[in-house]
Amino acid sequence: MYFNSVSEALEELRKGNPILIFDAKGREEEVDMVFYAGIIDYEKIYRLRVEAGGLICYATLYNLAEKIGLKFMSDILSSHDAYREIATRRLGYGDPPAFSLWVNHVNVRTGINDIDRAYTVRKLHEVFTKVWNNNVNEAKKIFYSEFMAPGHVPILLSRGLDKRRGHTELSTTLALLAGLVPSIVLAEMLDKGESLSLEKAFQYAKRNGIVIIDGKSIIDYWLKSGQ
């Protein structure tokens, strides 16, 4: 089993094709299916739902999200006495969670079907593209007038690879390395009863002609890039 190169993954991301990312042994040891959010449509959401099977999330950078007032949900909950204890616990791999708000766009019907989630994701991409281009006031106005929470699309915020090395950080860093807005849609690859094994993920990637890379390769590439 051999991982593809980061260069191959960057090219596939730019083309709007899915890539698979394995984080690391000793961490979650999970493989996520990843798309660039700038080209998302309901067929890609369907593929994430059916072929990946995990929670479909939108991911961007914390330092972009904070410009429009978004915070980590664990920080929001920790500010309330009733939730502080549960909000400060950690899972076995130790990292703090990346979750912020869960949202729907106000124009969707129920928020959960593939068309609805694709629409919400596209609108989130538009918001954070505006933030990326320093149109923060416009982005903030759109976000707070056109979205509702709670909803069916979780927003994940990257702390950066210098602080955390999960799929949120790995995938958004990959977008940056590709010269794209750090705006990603991803979901864990699941098997019956458990996460999809790395061996089965390689088989899936080979069968479907999909690039699969590991976190270490992304980190090494990022360090060499000087970003």
Give the catalytic positions in this structure.
32, 57, 93, 104, 152, 188
The CA dihedral of 144, 148, 150, 153, to the nearest 10 degrees, is -90
Of the candidates 150, 167, 131, which has an alpha carbon nearest to the alpha carbon of residue 73? Answer: 150
How does DSSP classify residue 48?
I
Contact indicator for 27, 93 with CB cutoff of 8 Å: yes
d(CA 162, CA 73): 21
- Longest CA–CA span in the chain (Å) reads 50
**Chain centre distance of CA 3:** 21
DSSP string for 163-208: T--SHHHHHHHHHHHTTS-S-EEEEEBEETTEEPPHHHHHHHHHHH
* Structure token digits, residue 143: 């976000």
Of the candidates 195, 213, 215, 212, the residue with the CA atom closest to the CA atom of residue 203: 212
183-195 burial: b if 16+ Cβ within 10 Å, else e: bbbbbbbbeeeeb
